[in-house]
Each structure stands twice: as structure tokens, then as C-alpha cells.
Chain A
Amino acid sequence: MAKNILLVDDSSTMRKIISRSLRQAGLDFGEIFEAGDGLEALEMLEKESVDIVLSDINMPNMNGIEFLREKANRDAIKDIPVFMISTETGEDIIGEAKSLGAAGALKKPFTPDKVSEVLGPLV
């Protein structure tokens, strides 16, 4: 079954660009949901059936790291894989995200190929 994706980024432009990359990657996605920060993302996860989350790190209200931490505490959603999307090249922030359960990371700007390389195994 096609997987549903949740995009979490405070920039709606960025969300548009990411969802276009997803389509160009030629992977079979179901619905693409969007959220503007970690709080919205948590709400969305509780409400909709989401299979994979792609999340930015730097966001207002609740950033990507806090989002991961909070998500890990909620049994119903804690196993949904989250991939971090970020310009942070600092390995430490990605490392921190991974130690909090992030499944992987995509660095901006990424190509559709990179998307299918990272997400391909899950879709």
C-alpha cells in the first residue's frame, strides 16, 4: 500500500519543494500531509494515518529535536519513522536527532535521487 507522508517545516515554500522532490523521486507515495512545526506535527500524527515523517530541525514553537523527544513519549505514534531534513551540516545535531530515534537525515539541497535512496527502502 502506498505510504502516507507528513512534511514538517515552518516554510511553506520548503514544504512545496520537498513534496515536489518526493514526486520526482518516482516513489509510490499516498497522501502528503503538512505541518508547520513540531506541535502541529504531533497533532497531525494523532489524527491522520501517517507512515513516514520528514521533519526540519529549526522551527518555531517546537523544533525538530523537541518533536522527536515528545513523539518518543507517545505510545501510539512513537514507532513512525522520522527523517530529518536540514541544512545543519553539524554532525552533532544530526547525531542528536538519531540518538533520539530519527531514522535518517536528508541534507538540503537534495536531489530526487537522494530522496529515493533514503526513503526507497521504506516505500
Chain B
Amino acid sequence: MKIQEEDYGVFKQFLQEIYAMASEVEPFLLAFGEDSERREIEEKVIHGSYRLYHSIKGTGSFLHLNNIVSLAQTYEYMLDLVRSERLILQPSLTKLLVEGVNFLKQSVGIMWKDKSDARLSGETKKLSAAVMQATGVGHNSIKFTPSGSTPSPQQGLLETFVEETRGLLETAEQEFVLWDYVAIDTERVTDLCKIIGLLKNNYTMFDLEDLESICRAMEATLLRFVDGDFFQGPYPEQVFIRIIDTLRETTDRFLVSGEAVVPNADKHLLALQGLIRRPIGELLVQAGLVASHTIDEALEKQKVTESQAPPRLGEVLVEMGEISEIDIHHILDVQHQQREKTAKLNEQLAGEQRKRVRGEWADLLPAELTVERSTINKICELVRTLAIEYRSGEIKSEPLVELEKLCRTIQRVSANIIVPRLKRVVHDLAIKTNKKVFFSVKGAGGEVDGDVITALYEPLVELLTNSIEHGLEFASEREEQAKKAKGNLRLLFLQKADELWVSVEDDGCGFDIGQLTEIAARRSLLSAEKKHLVSNRDIAKLVIQEKLSTKKQTVGSSEGELGLEIVQQALERLQGKVDILSLPGKGTRVTLHIPHQH
């Protein structure tokens, strides 16, 4: 992809920066090449080179310079290993660093002239391969160390790769999930292309052909959209999201087994190709029925027609005497068949995916926790104090209280960690139930106890599910009631002095209070005389506490009371309370009140 004219200024500055940084590190590299004993120079070499490649990686990715970004990634990996002392800066590596600097200095001119780094593709690949070879991660030479033993440099590299790839997959997934809520414009899609491009580079580096070709196909499909083609089918993002799931599974498997064959890779590729509606002109040219310049002529003619509804391209071509009507019908058939085929394929792939949707997520919280050394020291000190006090028989409460407080601080996380998953759940469910949903999250930036947020995940899934399945109406029903076709679903986090409030709010049909009151009276939960006096809020509370339900509206998932049970259990564990406000026809808000642990 070429640099846009509006970016020329930034691009030029970027190239000048590369040149300056490369020139800066070069003399140190040459000096170190001559005398590799000089530690103070080694420091400068490592630091200067790292900064050079790190900058290229950061800025270049914005400018879509995939070839040199990919090269910079490789060098950065190598330098990472050197910096963490898992690899020694041997003369062979120094030589590669010199080559890299020379290459970059020469490339600056080429890139400026071309306004792209496409011409560097071959050279960057060669150089990357040499760097990988030198770090011991050449083709097919990745070694897997059994867990427990000291990780080899290759294993470290592999972990970095998987971690980075997972991050990219998540970013891409979130962007696709958003497609349902925002207008997709070319700028968004271009940005997304960059992410997919980085992903592709990562897979290329490890020679994972299936994954690389799927990324390439995603990129190609997205670029066709950028160039003005249209997606066909109601939910193009579903195809992408499904593929992201597949990429994620395969990447994870690769880490464990070293094998990265994508099941149904060909079908995924076909599904991607099928996403773009192929214009009739393209199909006619492909079938050899007309020449492509004829199509251009016909398109021009189609444009100049002044009537309100321009004639179809086929009609223009028939009028021009280029093809017969039979040809047109034949091609329209082809177009139709392709659409059908794609739809069928998607159905099949979606079916296979559905089998594994729920419960597939790995642990919510990251496995490793970073804690400041001073905090750990403080904890150790407090434990020692307690031990001494215990032995002497007089325990004071202060160290214990402080210890508890410290433990709680280090376990705090942002509520945001569950948001991407919840967004995905809502997205999948909206499509499954054929509802239109606008989902927004507010206040998730604050920190909460790690175990609280983990405990809230399942109940929130249940409440959101309930809102989508039973609360929000179908688009047509909503329009009849003069509501917006898209239902609003909101998740709100609010930090109060003593409590965390989490609300799930929809603007759907609300509870059928009349019917619920009747049922409550029948089950003797309300006395007959009191039943006219109770508020909507009281009834809604009975729904949770007494599992009161009509067939139409339950709290909990489609599994009915099971979902309710999950909410109840979580509340008991967290010593929380629930508050429900439901207005018939207006919507429902369920708020969970979770006390802060003191």
C-alpha cells in the first residue's frame, strides 16, 4: 500500500529519523566489530540498535510499511534476547547488525521515491531469515522445551510471539465486534488491515503457511472493500470473527505442540472470497464473454444516462450489442449460485463453531502478576513480624490488618478485563436471536478486586443474555412501538464509597407486572389484599428471590432458573444485594450491589 499524500510530511520525517539513528549507531557497530571486548561500546551498540528497530516497528506500523516493520520485529526479537542475556552478541550477530544498518540507510531513498516499501520485500525477507537463523530460530528448527526446565532462547522467542499474536488477535476481534455498532468506513478498515498485516508478518516469521495465507486472504478481502467493492450477506464480520477464533486456537496449539495446521483452511479461504459481492462485469470478463474495456465503456454509458433509475449494466451491454440476454441470465445464475454456495458454506462453518462457543475462554485473569519489589518486601516483613509475635504469644492486629490491605491492593484489576468478552457474548447472542442490539459499557476503567470481577463475569453473562433473549424486542416489534430498531443494552460500573454497583439495563419490554402479581398471589407470596398495593420494584425483587417467572420473562438465561441460580450464588458469595427496576414497555434495570471487602 502506498503512503497517502497527506502523510508525506510524517513519512519524510520518519525516514530522516531512521537515517539519523542508523548513522548514529554505525560507528559504534564498526568499532565493536573490531574489538568485541569493549563492554562500554557493546552497551551503546545494543541500546542504539534496539532504539532504531523499536522506532521503526512503532512508527512504521502506522504508515503500513509492513516489510521493514517485519524486519525490525526480527531484529528486535534478537536484541531482546541479547538484552535479557539469553543470547551473546557474537561477531556473526554484530555483522548482521551492521548489514541491517547499511540496508536501512540505502532503503531510505528507495522508500521515499516509491512512497512504499514494497520493493524491499525480497531483501527484508532474506535479512530476516538470516537473523532468525543466527538466533537459532531458523526454519523448522524451533525446539520445544518441556515445561519446568529452563526455557531456551527459542522458547522465549516463541512465547513473545504467541503473546504478541494473541494481543493482535484480540484487537482485531474487538474491531470486528464493533462493526455491528458503528458505520464501517474505509479508514477503519484500513486501520484494521494494518493489524491483520502485523499478524501476517508474525506468522510469516515462524513459517506458518496456513495461518499466513488466511491472514493474506483477510487482508485482500478488506482491501477490496476499501477499494469500493461491497460485502454480501448480512453479517460479514461473523466470518472474520470465526476466522479469528480459528487463528487463536491454532496459535495456542502451536505453542504446545509445534503444529499449526488449520482445519478447514480451504473452506475459510472460500468463505472469505465469498464475502465480496462479485460485480457482474467482473464475472462477464472472467467468463470470456466481454473484454474488460467494454465493461468500462458500458459503465461510462450507465453513468451518463439521465433517467432517475439508471439502466442495469447488463441492459447497457445488451443494448450495445456486446452480449445476448441469454448470456446475462447465465451470468446472473452464476452470481446467484455463488451467493448460495457461500451462504451454505458459512452455515456449515458456523455450525462447527457453535459446538465450541461457550466456556472456551481461558482464565480471566492473567497467569502472572507483576508486583513492585518494595511491596513484596513489605509483605515479607509483615509476615516475619507476625511470626515473631506469634512465638512470643502476643499477636497485635495492626500487622495483620496491614497485610490484608496489601494483599487486596495487589489483587486489584481493571473491570475492563471482562469487557471484551462480554462484548463478544452480546454480539454472538444478538445474531443468534436475530435481535438488533446497541451495547455500551460505562465506568469499567476503575479498579476492582480481582476475585470480585471474576465472580461477576458469569452472572453478568446471564443478565445480558436475559436482556437480549427476553427483554429486547425484535426490530419490527420495536418499530411498531415507535422505539428505535436497535435495542439499547448498557452495562454500568459505579464505584460508591462502600459498594461497587454493577447494572445491566435494557430498553426492552420490561416485566409483565400484572401477570407476575397474579402468580405471586397464587403462590401465596403476596396476600390477596396486598396485591394491589405492591410496587413494580417489589414484584421484580420477588423474581430474583423467589424465582418468580412467567413463561415470557425470566431472569436468567434460556435455561431459566439455572441462570437465576448463578446470579443468586454469586451474590451470596460476594455478600451482595440485587435491585431491580422494571417498567412495562420501557425496560428493565438490574443492579448488583457488591460491598467492598474491608
Contact = CB atoms under 8 A, between A and B. Distances in A.
A92 B370 contact: yes
Query: Per DSSP, are chain B's interface residues mostly helix, strand or loop, or mixed?
Result: helix
A13 B10 contact: yes
Contact of B188 (A14, A16, A98, A111): A111
Interface of B: 9-10, 13-14, 17, 47, 50-51, 54-55, 57-59, 61-62, 160, 163-164, 167, 171, 175, 178, 182, 188, 191, 194-195, 198, 366, 368-372, 375, 414, 443, 445
Contact residues on A (Cβ < 8 Å of other chain), bracket: 20 to 34
B62 A95 contact: no
Interface of A: 10-14, 16-17, 20, 56, 58, 60, 86-87, 89-92, 95-96, 98-100, 104, 107-109, 111, 113, 121
5 contacts: A11-B14, A11-B58, A90-B163, A113-B182, A121-B443
A109 B370 contact: no
A96 B13 contact: no
B51 A17 contact: no
Contacts of B167: 89, 107
Nearest to B441: A117
B51 A109 contact: no
Contacts of B414: 104
A96 B374 CA distance: 12
Contacts of A20: 10
Nearest to B444: A121
Contact of A58 (B51, B163, B368): B51
Contacts of B62: 17, 108-109
Given A13-B10, A58-B50, A87-B57, A95 B369 contact: yes
Contacts of B17: 11-13
Contact of A12 (B13, B58, B368): B13
A59 to B, nearest CB: 8
The 8 closest A-B pairs by CB, nearest first: A95-B370, A109-B61, A89-B164, A13-B14, A111-B191, A13-B13, A108-B58, A109-B62
Contacts of A108: 57-58, 61-62
B54 A89 contact: no
B51 A16 contact: no
Most buried by B among A87, A90, A109: A109
A80 B579 CA distance: 36
B448 to A, nearest CB: 14
B370 A89 contact: no
A16 to B, nearest CB: 5
